[in-house]
Structure 1
Amino acid sequence: MTTSEVLLSADADGVRTLTLNRPQAYNSLTVELKERLLAELRAAAEDAGVRAVVLTGTGKAFCAGQDLKEHVGLLQANDPAPLNTVSEHYNPMVRAIIGMPKPVIAAVNGTAAGAGAALAYACDLRIAAESSSFLMAFANVGLGPDSGASWTLQRLIGLGRASELMLLGRKVDSAEALRIGIVGEVVPDEELTARVQAAATKLAAGPTVAYSKIKHVLAVAAQSSLDEALEAEDAAQGALGKTADHGEAVEAFVTKRKPDFQGK
């Protein structure tokens, strides 16, 4: 495990776990944390030994979003940095998560608000602790959504519900989050780490290139015509049919054994 003041990174069984580590500030996002997280996401994408990624937080929060104390302080000092953070930090982080060529799981251990919730929405899977909650708090501070929330949330729960949560700034507890589709699973708080690690380890042992193509064709289909989606599927299948993992799966089927995927 490598440790910094604001972020923890640990590898186990092909899984890289990135843990936001500012519990005293509900893991709110400072410039330092945003820059470190972006660098770690990019490193995970490039590391062939990493075949699944987990994003989580320490303490009672997953991530409370932008650190408003730092934000206000910089604005009062006439520092232009706060006005550039969407383009310099949030947009690249969301692109790094959504474009990650391997599965990303959000282990939502507590409050996820604003940009913090948006980071969870960008992940491929969301497993939440019973004590967790989600809050689209942008309107409460006179801002609009960022960090891809306008794109991701409505694809999870539909335009009507996404509009309600963003306009009213209403908190959603874990039970409602499961019911409306923000998360795929809710577990007791004390079981979250083990459950997420089990899911991530299973994914890390799977056909990584196929997972990457699945993510790609789903993204294409979400914003294209049927013909474009069919073409993307065709291209993906053509490429995947030549992979070592597909060959291994066929051989395993014929010999009636479990495939041993190498992520290639």
Structure 2
Amino acid sequence: MSAPSALRHMKFETVADGVALVTFARPEVKNAFNRLMMDEALAIVDELAAGYPARWRAVVVCGEGDNYCCGGDLEMFREMLGQPRHAVHAFIARFHQWALAWDALPMPTLAVMHGPVVGGGVPQGLICDLRYAAENTVVHFNFMHIGLVPDMGSHFIVPSLVGVGRAYELMLAGEPIDAAEGLRLGLFTKVLPTREEALAAATKRASVIAAVPPDVVAHSKRLLRNARHSSLSETVAQEVACQADRFLDPVFAEKIAGFFAKRARRAS
């Protein structure tokens, strides 16, 4: 599936060499996801994967308007009340495809979060490899307050960032966390004063990443992902295999030759 030619609830553009920008663009409802928005989001993921690495080697995701995303549209949820279990299960599974597909992208993903970020919007941001935030960002796992459990991979993502004990407190008590506390806990990579500054910083970082040989970045991202559920010995074995491939790659030989050539010039 390719990205629709006329997106209604999402924006998708190239903002720098090798860098794509994905924007949640439903600000009138705080960028809440409905069915069409999810269809568009999944189509964009397909487009990103198909365009890697020739067109895109890093992707930034942000929200339009006053906040990043407030998760699923409650109007849509209300429509599902009373439906048979198999229909509800299929509906929820469809939404969770995004988390799996986004996490599986070979290129690094960078979130730019701002304003109140609640419900499913929280893991949609935290699942990204790097997470930039504006100072007015407040994340709130409010699932419990409406009778739901955190989802979109929350039970995997949050403990990996802050530890199991703190994850219990964040997800079960559902207390809001501001940008400063989120940075201290490790939810955020960096906090900037405004959304615009956070977006500029994330785009700049994405451009740096996009300039690195893409297979090197993809190898490292895969190792980091696999290490979540691998032992040290398994991770080391994967690193050895990847590094052996790198040593045999012409790009590595060129970099080494360039290093010694530069050192020889300095010495002469």
TM-score by length of 2: 0.89
Give 2:77's match in structure 1, choosing from 71, 77, 80: 71
Partner of 2:176: 171
**Displacement of 1:239:** 2.2
Question: In 2, Cα distance between the equivalents of 1:85 and 1:240?
Answer: 43
Tell me the alpha carbon deviations over residues 151-208 of structure 1, each in whole angstroms, 9 at most, x when there is no partner: 0111000011111011111111101100111001000114122111111111111122
Percent identity over the alignment? 32
AA matched with 1:138: F
Establish whether residue 121 from structure 1 lines up as the match of residue 143 from structure 2.
Answer: no
1:86/1:147 contact within 8 Å kept: no
Give 1:95's match in structure 2, choosing from 72, 96, 100: 100
1:27/1:61 contact within 8 Å kept: yes
**Displacement of 1:212:** 1.1
Question: In 2, Cα distance between the equivalents of 1:243 and 1:36?
Answer: 37
Partner of 2:20: 16
Q: How many residues align?
A: 256
Partner of 2:197: 191
Structure 2 residue runs of 5 or longer lacking an equivalent are 264-268
Query: For residues 1-264 of structure 1, what are the structure 2 equivalents within 5 Å?
Result: 4-11=7-14, 12-47=16-51, 48=53, 49-75=55-81, 81-90=87-96, 92-189=97-194, 190-256=196-262
TM-score by length of 1: 0.90
Tell me the alpha carbon deviations over residues 117-173 of structure 1, each in whole angstroms, 9 at most, x when there is no partner: 111111100010111111112111111121111101110000111110111111111
Structure 1 residue runs of 5 or longer lacking an equivalent are 258-264
Compared with structure 1, are the counterparts of its residues 66 and 154 closer, same or farther at alpha carbon in structure 2 (3 Å cutoff)? same
Question: In 2, Cα distance between the equivalents of 1:239 and 1:42?
Answer: 27
AA matched with 1:108: M
2:30/2:66 contact within 8 Å kept: yes
Q: Which has the larger Rg? A: 2
Question: In 1, Cα distance between the equivalents of 2:253 and 2:6?
Answer: 39
Question: In 1, Cα distance between the equivalents of 2:39 and 2:79?
Answer: 18
**Displacement of 1:78:** 6.7
Question: In 2, Cα distance between the equivalents of 1:85 and 1:194?
Answer: 35
1:64/1:112 contact within 8 Å kept: yes
**Displacement of 1:79:** 9.7
Q: Which runs of 4+ in 1 moved over 4 A?
A: 76-82
**Displacement of 1:3:** 5.3
1:112/1:134 contact within 8 Å kept: yes
